[in-house]
Amino acid sequence: MGDQPTSDSERAPEEATAKAAGPRPDEAVVLTQDNPDNKDDSDPAGDKPAEPEPNPSPEPEEAKARPVGEDTVVIRLPAETAKKAETAETAGKDDTVVMRKIPGEETVVLRPEVKKPVGDETVVIRLPATKPAKKKPATDDTVIIRLPQAPKTKAAGRARVASRLAGEETVVIRVPTAPEPAPKPGGSFDLGYAPWVLALSSLGVVLVALAYGGGRHESSWAMTAYWTGQVIVFSPVVFRLLSRLAGVAESFLLVIGLAANQYMLKWMYSPDQFRFPDELQHWLATTLITESGELFRPNQALPPAVHFPGLAEMGAAVSQLTGLSVTAAGTLVAGVAHLIFVGMLFAAVLRSSNSPAMAGVACVTYATAMHYLFFNSMFLYQTAALPYFMLTVWAYRRWRTAGDPVFAVLAVAGIAMTTVSHHVTAFALVATLVLLAVTELVLEKPRPWITLSIPLAALAVVAAWIGFVAQDVIAYLEAPVEGLAASLNQLFGGAAEDATATKPVPLTQLAVQGLGLLGLFVLFVAVGRDMLLRRDRDTWRWAALIGGGVFFAGNGARFLGANGPEIAGRLSTFTYIPMSIVAAIAIVYAVQIIPPKDERGRRWRSSLPPGLAVTTGRRLAGQVYLGTALITVLMIGARTGGWPPVSALLPGPYLPAAYERSVDEFGVDAARWQEATLPPGTRVGGDITTVALSSTYGRMDPVREVGELFHAEQWTGTEEAIARSRGVSYLVVDERLSEALPPDAYFQGDPMAGRLTEPIPVAGLRKFDTIPAASRLYDNGHVRIYQMGLS
């Protein structure tokens, strides 16, 4: 697959320096290049690096010890040279092979000065005379030649390492990266074109901001401006990263700059206040800590959040230290956590691949996840847990490659912080560490059983926290688990169709999402075939491939009942990480999608091409353009299938039960009245929006399943019995529910979800005025609050 992530035997440069042993005398020979001027030799492929791929047949262990870089030169041996080599005698006693450049040729020709047996496909290179020479067996068709480090000062030539491919007239010369002779201005911190690319991306941010303004005024041009801005924000960064001309510093700046620009898109949607129900729930948790100075304060809006105070504690600390409001502090905390997560993802992929292009493309591919733009950057406890999740994975990688116990301690600390921040992220972390450990145990010989210590520690920490502290999480997760089980039973057991099924997805939206998923699946299959045929033994690549398979299985949850799309989206937050790495391998290293036929006419079982595919010229340009187009399509699919829904991509006037679009001054004022007037913890029911506001701003105890009370044309004994059974003391009625249909449902657990053809009639909302025991206590022209008088 080319310059892929280094395996455990292929360390990053600093790890290789610490671990690699010197070449044995009976296995090393030095190749030198003619350099009569005694000048420093430059890399002949430096401007357009080749994309290396491992040999199709397993190499000896010596070959695996050297990481494959992007500075590999492929030297093809002309036929006439091969014939001369059959009778050539050794030119000198130093057994040196000389490389010469033939004028007018595009390749460097290796002129062997060693004897090659006639009719034998093996290049025999005699070892130096310093120790008893050992010949390569005549039947062995591979010669591994070690290369010493390039000198830091001017030298007579640059060393090369060569390996002979079986049955081919190709000699592969692997060139190590020469160290810088002297620090250059900027050095490894050269930002390249990143400032200019990000300046162009920022113009897209401005365009989306204008689209948001147009959406609030219902302007016809707003949607066109929105999509144009989204593409301008995203695509230039992807194009630059795929060109493979950006170094580590430039790639990192591009990735972080893109994440910051995209966070601006989320913040500008609602810059003055939190409007999403989950954000309001964590706003309340943070406010309770700032008011009391204590953790674990009861939160009626989201009871499980009490025992996962990581996000609320950080928000309260920033608010108290800076004097900012909880909303401003929460916005700042969520933004910083989002950037740290992206930075840790970049560092983890860079560590495993030693390629800034690979790390950058993996990050921008992950930015096309369904919930990346909003859910993963909202003021939610998952946003606070994700940086610790990636920190743990990165530290685990460092511990397994460098062996430093400091990284093991850091991984355990990351496990603890993830556990106290978010329950689902903690479960995902345990599963990820188990996958990494089991993959290593299966592929490595002898089996490194110590790798199980970190996953077992994670399992113990999470189980202890859930079992002894956050016991209410078990009951909280029962409902979604039962819903998923019911959907599976419906799918495979032939049960009747769920009456609460969501509306069918529009054909255009489904086509865009399907095209993106199909493209990812093609890349997934190509990488899997490539790894199988090359007998890849890298544990991290195999773990990523297995994780990619889980991603596709999780996408099947989209079709499992009313909650299927939400389950699939939330699951992809974690499974899309390995899928992004697999996609980056395929895109950056041009893995063959459709392999050529072999001599037997087989295509999918044919051997991989020998040697190294040098990606230059038109092939590189086509790879960049196609890769940019694919990732942009994935981004568009994520925006249409993620959050907010298509009907609310732009902010605008009030819409019933549309989350952010439903929060306005009328609803907030009614909730503030409840806080000032009603006893704390009073049972209050209403639609999705009013009950969210009542439980946060109003600090009431929410009753969400009240759909039957609103859909009934008249108030009868049946409705009164339902209200009594659910302990409803007050009802919040927004008459604007009668003006439009909701995107999905008016109420949580709405019995009419997906079946409504017209809004709730006004008469159905005003029937509460006719209830003898009920009293209207509040009315601001849109929102009314009724005391039910049932107690």
Residue type, 743: P
Helices then strands, counting H and E runs in the chain, come out as: 24, 11
The mean-pLDDT minimum among 99-113, 549-563, 660-674 falls in 99-113
CA 620 to chain centroid: 25
CA distance 282 to 383: 11
The answer to whether residue 750 scores a pLDDT higher than 80 is yes
Residue written as token pair 């357009």: 48
Q: How many Cα atoms within 13 Å fall on the side-chain side of residue 66?
A: 28
Nearest to 624 by CA among 238, 230, 250: 238
CA distance 242 to 356: 10
- Is the entire prediction scored with pTM above 0.95? no
Q: What are the pLDDT digits (tens) for 243-255?
A: 888 889 999 999 9
For residue 641, name the pLDDT band (cuts at 50, 70, 90). confident
Contact 35, 43 (CB under 8 A): no
Contact 73, 51 (CB under 8 A): no
CA distance 355 to 69: 8
Supply 173's token pair: 């010369």
Task: Report phi then psi at 462, rounded to 5.
Answer: -65, -45
Give the whole-number percent of the chain exceeding pLDDT 90.
Answer: 49
The answer to whether residue 51 scores a pLDDT higher than 60 is no
Quickly count: other Cβ atoms within 10 Å of residue 666's Cβ: 16
Supply 400's token pair: 């397994």
User: Bridge-partner residues for 786, per DSSP?
Assistant: 731, 776
For residue 168, name the pLDDT band (cuts at 50, 70, 90). very low
Cα dihedral across residues 482, 486, 489, 491: positive or negative: negative
Q: How many Cα atoms within 13 Å fall on the side-chain side of residue 44?
A: 20
CA distance 363 to 634: 13
Consecutive H or E run containing 574: helix 564-588
Give the residue with greater pLDDT, 783 vs 16: 783
Residue written as token pair 């009240």: 706
pLDDT at 492: 59
Contact 546, 452 (CB under 8 A): no
For residue 648, name the pLDDT band (cuts at 50, 70, 90). confident
For residue 618, name the pLDDT band (cuts at 50, 70, 90). low
User: Bridge-partner residues for 412, per DSSP?
Assistant: none
For residue 735, name the pLDDT band (cuts at 50, 70, 90). very high
DSSP summary character for residue 240: H
CA distance 565 to 52: 40
Whole-angstrom CA distances from 504 to 28, 494, 563, 744 are 66, 20, 13, 11
- b/e sequence 418-442, b meaning 16+ C-beta within 10 Å: bbbbbbbbbbbbbbbbbbbbbbbee
Supply 165's token pair: 């491919």
CA distance 666 to 781: 8
Across the chain, mean pLDDT equals 77
The angle formed by the CA atoms of residues 653, 654 and 657, to the nearest 5 degrees, is 145
The angle formed by the CA atoms of residues 782, 766 and 744, to the nearest 5 degrees, is 70
Quickly count: other Cβ atoms within 10 Å of residue 485's Cβ: 11
Task: Report phi then psi at 776, rounded to 5.
Answer: -85, 115
pLDDT at 67: 43
CA distance 373 to 376: 6
3 state SS of 184: coil
Q: What are the pLDDT digits (tens) for 517-559?
A: 898 999 999 899 888 888 888 899 999 999 999 999 887 766 5
DSSP summary character for residue 128: P
Residue type, 552: F
Task: Report phi then psi at 731, rounded to 5.
Answer: -120, 135
- b/e sequence 210-249, b meaning 16+ C-beta within 10 Å: bbbebbeeebeebeebbbebbebbbbbbbbbbbbbebbbb
Residue written as token pair 């970190």: 454
Q: How many Cα atoms within 13 Å fall on the side-chain side of residue 345?
A: 29
CA 654 to chain centroid: 33
Consecutive H or E run containing 258: helix 248-269
Mean pLDDT value of segment 473-482? 78
Mean pLDDT value of segment 362-376? 92
pLDDT at 138: 42
Nearest to 785 by CA among 730, 723, 710: 730
pLDDT at 481: 72
3 state SS of 703: strand
pLDDT at 513: 78
Contact 615, 623 (CB under 8 A): yes
DSSP summary character for residue 83: H
pLDDT at 17: 39
pLDDT at 564: 62
CA distance 182 to 152: 9
